[in-house]
A and B are shown apart, each in its own frame.
Chain A
Amino acid sequence: MTNEELKIAVSALFPSVTYDETGEYLTVLISPAELSPLMNGLRSNGDLSFDYLFCLTAVDWKTHLTLVYHLQSKVHRHVLVVKAKITDIANPVIETVSDIWQTANFHEREVYDLFGITFTRHPDMRRILLDESWEGYPLRKNYVDENMIEI
């Protein structure tokens, strides 16, 4: 499907979502509450069948956090980006998608490790790269490290 066709197909399933069409891929902008039903629909719908989550990451915009999901369909060869905006900086929480795509298990642990975003219903929510005793989340903009020499 082309980006235009994807937009029509996604809108038919989820009329409330908005889009960003400036990039190479069609980007779906949602709130965290919409995540689970949207992702389940994208995966299970036969015309979309996004069966491959090839990137899951987060961005710290200081005022808010964004979860970014890159999805691909191995059947239809199309790509879609989903961005979920988290406004609660102090206690960022979003639902897991590890029940939809197994690969999200480790990706979400990495995001938790480095951004401090908690994923609800995640089967094993703990740090993956850093020490268990590590304090803070290094990729957050407000991260303070006394040993770090900044330039």
Chain B
Amino acid sequence: MAETEKMIFPAQLHQTADGGIVVSKLDEMINWARSNSLWPLVFGTSCCAIEMMSAADAKYDWSRFGFEVARATPRQADLIIVAGTIVMKMAPVLKRLYDQMPDPKYVIAMGACTISGGPFFYNTYSVVKGVDHVIPVDVYIPGCPPRPEALLHALITLQEKIKHETYFGKSKETGK
């Protein structure tokens, strides 16, 4: 097997007379499958969502990496991309959506508003100053708004994170 293919598929192929035997770890196999079919929740609260939609379109096409199955219900999603400002009134709704998602679940904080409140950090009564006050965040993307490439980078970063998790039991690295 070529070097590049080894990186994509976490297994070793042993040639035999009748074909071959694949040797791998169950965790690595499952994580390989999980990380390549992340189903994001359809969730966007402002301009970052426009960039998120761009990442889904033909030009950037996030389905190349397995993110195209966007779900309109949290019960079928395992990733929430928080794309946009979260206000005090939205925060309990976001929390509820997150709670309704089945484990294992992941959160990407997209853009300045979701990281810290961004342009609404000062002198604002209504904006949550960082979505990590409400739900735990796996990957942060800076930018106002971040480009679709940045979102793709974040999604690939999340894939890397998932690949290092231990599915049976708790992760050594994240404790999730």
Contact = CB atoms under 8 A, between A and B. Distances in A.
B100 to A, nearest CB: 21
A149 B121 contact: yes
A131 B89 contact: yes
Interface of B: 88-89, 121-126, 129
A145 B125 contact: yes
B88 A148 contact: no
Contact of A138 (B122, B126, B129): B126
23 contacts: A129-B89, A130-B88, A130-B89, A130-B126, A131-B88, A131-B89, A138-B125, A138-B126, A143-B125, A145-B125, A147-B125, A147-B129, A148-B123, A148-B124, A148-B125, A149-B121, A149-B122, A149-B123, A149-B129, A150-B122, A150-B123, A151-B122, A151-B123
Given A129-B89, A138-B125, 5 more contacts: A130-B88, A130-B126, A149-B122, A149-B123, A151-B122
B112 to A, nearest CB: 15
Interface of A: 129-131, 138, 143, 145, 147-151
A35 B20 CA distance: 89
Contacts of B129: 147, 149
A149 B88 CA distance: 15
A145 B126 CA distance: 10
Nearest to B88: A131
Contacts of B125: 138, 143, 145, 147-148
A143 B125 CA distance: 10
Contacts of B88: 130-131
Contacts of B122: 149-151
A77 B123 CA distance: 39
A54 B114 CA distance: 34
Contacts of A130: 88-89, 126
Contacts of B124: 148
A17 B123 CA distance: 38
Nearest to B122: A151
A145 B123 CA distance: 10
Contacts of A143: 125
Nearest to A139: B125
User: 3 shortest A-B CB distances, which residue pairs?
Assistant: A151-B122, A138-B125, A145-B125
A75 B123 CA distance: 42
B126 to A, nearest CB: 7
B123 to A, nearest CB: 6
A25 B123 CA distance: 32
B31 to A, nearest CB: 39
